[in-house]
């Protein structure tokens, strides 16, 4: 059973919150989830783009069950407000933490003053997950963290895991995604230790391009792509729609275990069908993960209460 065609029949229809659902991987994941019959909460920071994504999904999926939720991960006040609003939407079965900032050329900061990529990709999702965790179905719930092959090319400072140092946009993006993955794998360990049935899963899309995906005119591309990347699509890359398959499978598919890493099964994990894949050892370093966890709770002012989930 593949994630792009069917969900998990044992679990039936689920409610899945997709962050960054207005474009790119998040949009295609939301469309695929809706096509499988799931209720999808489109968590977006821009209301107009969120509405455009909803129109597009409804154009391609009959009877799509969609809900809009305002969520700006670069503003912790917005994160708290969104979690409060989510509490009124009924049981939640999965959080697909997809939204992200990619390779800002010059340093930018979040509302609370954190570097934008780490502040959005990791800290915003860290706080969002902690606040939304009690709303998850405690027997079947899943948290999916969207990592990246970019984690292979960087490390975090062991003493100051949130440190930026000399700013380089793409290096900082890699740091942010390594932080996401360290958090995701560590959350799986801590949920298991707490006896929780909630699963924490990390997934990545490989090299996924808007240009190689089916056209969705209502939906703005996530970013411009150089011509050489388009030429390589189909050989060393795939469309954003195919890149969403591992994310969707991690959220609702069969045979997914807490602590796994899902991605494309092809060479170098760049393209191919969804499958469990290997992450670099650095993404499983529990010493760094514990330091990152403590630093993230301190930075966001949000703490996990995992013992209360049992």
Per residue in 124-147, pLDDT tens? 999 999 999 999 999 999 999 999
This prediction has a pTM of: 0.92
Per residue in 32-62, pLDDT tens? 999 999 999 999 999 999 999 999 999 999 9
Q: Which residues are catalytic?
A: 173
Residue for token pair 């005119």? 217
Residue for token pair 């920071």? 45
Q: How many whole angstroms separate alpha carbon 188 and alpha carbon 285?
A: 13
Q: What is the mean pLDDT of the chain?
A: 91
Q: How many whole angstroms separate alpha carbon 89 and alpha carbon 221?
A: 29
pLDDT over 60 (residue 10): no
Per residue in 270-307, pLDDT tens? 889 999 999 999 999 999 999 999 999 999 999 998 87
pLDDT over 80 (residue 3): no
What burial letters (b/e) apply to 9-40, b meaning 16+ CB within 10 Å? eebeebbbbbbbbbbbbbbbbbbbbbbbebbb
User: Which of 173-182, 207-216, 217-226, 238-247 bottoms out in mean pLDDT, i.e. has the lowest?
Assistant: 217-226
Label residue 212 by pLDDT band (50, 70, 90). Answer: confident
Residue ranges and CATH numbers for the domains of the chain are: 15-298 (3.40.50.720)
Q: How many whole angstroms separate alpha carbon 30 and alpha carbon 38?
A: 9
């Amino acid at each position: 059973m593949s994630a792009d065609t069917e969900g998990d029949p044992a679990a039936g229809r689920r409610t899945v919150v997709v962050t960054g659902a207005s474009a790119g991987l998040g949009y295609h994941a939301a469309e695929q989830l809706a096509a499988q019959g799931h209720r999808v909460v489109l968590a977006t920071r821009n209301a107009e783009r969120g509405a455009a994504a909803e129109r597009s999904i409804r154009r391609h999926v009959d009877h799509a069950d969609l809900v809009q939720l305002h969520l700006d991960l670069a503003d912790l006040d917005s994160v708290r407000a969104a979690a409060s609003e989510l509490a009124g939407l009924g049981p939640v079965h999965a959080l697909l933490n997809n939204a992200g900032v990619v390779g800002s050329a010059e340093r930018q900061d979040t509302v609370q003053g954190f570097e934008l990529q780490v502040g959005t990709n990791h800290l915003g999702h860290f706080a969002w997950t902690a606040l939304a965790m009690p709303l998850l179905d405690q027997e079947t719930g899943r948290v999916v963290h969207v990592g990246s092959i970019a984690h292979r090319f960087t490390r975090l400072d062991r003493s100051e895991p949130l440190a930026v140092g000399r700013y380089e946009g793409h290096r900082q993006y890699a740091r942010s995604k390594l932080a996401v993955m360290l958090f995701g794998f560590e959350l799986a360990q801590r949920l298991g230790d707490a006896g929780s049935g909630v699963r924490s899963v990390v997934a990545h899309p490989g090299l996924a391009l808007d240009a190689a995906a089916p056209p969705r005119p209502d939906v703005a591309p996530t970013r411009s792509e150089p011509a050489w990347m388009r030429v390589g699509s189909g050989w060393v890359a795939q469309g954003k729609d195919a890149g969403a398959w591992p994310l969707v499978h991690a959220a609702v598919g069969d045979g997914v275990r807490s602590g796994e890493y899902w991605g494309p099964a092809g060479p170098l994990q760049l393209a191919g069908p969804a499958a469990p894949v290997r992450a670099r050892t650095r993404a499983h370093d529990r010493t760094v993960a514990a330091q990152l966890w403590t630093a993230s709770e301190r930075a966001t002012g949000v703490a996990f209460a995992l013992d209360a989930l049992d």
